[in-house]
Structure 1
């Protein structure tokens, strides 16, 4: 029984390393409502809500990012604002393209950003997958 428990613990540790390694770092910012209309056709407040994001060209992939779900976690400050991260992970739906000048790889809705970071920070480093 003890050997099975050790194997299970080691497997869980290995899986957690894999998921952490598959996350990408990037800068996240937020924007205030009005979120719609968005670049992704067919997405609106009724079917997408406010846990949404726009993404920059490297994630946009010619529009194929529309509807993609991203898991986002605040990791550290991106400016002098102290301790902006609140902890936890959010899931957002990509519904928009963040055109230049886009100050982050991910442009979260105000509601989404507020769940993982202090709004006064304005921008934070995140891991996303």
Structure 2
């Protein structure tokens, strides 16, 4: 079903031959406007669920983390912090990291769906 093509990446002693497959036939599928809209509409995404959980962790641990940071002392050059305060600081840091990553992931997925819809619509209208 595919033709094999060999591509030369570099010349000389460091040349790496790479073999790729190219389809003999490109199959197109028909899709109605309604189906396209349903395919690309924003749906509830798992990464948004993770984002909201992380935001809850941030909001829940923020007051205690602020109190912990305010109450930190140094004794003989060593930072003194209670274990429960450290736990809240770790939870706050982890929540912020997870919220950032899941928020970026959700934004990228939303943009990708919009790009797919635009690409398919341009294909049917004949625009470049």
State the TM-score, normalizing by the size of structure 2.
Answer: 0.19
- Greater share of strand residues, 1 or 2? 1
Greater relative contact order (Cα < 8 A, sep 6+): 1
The structure number with the bigger radius of gyration is: 2
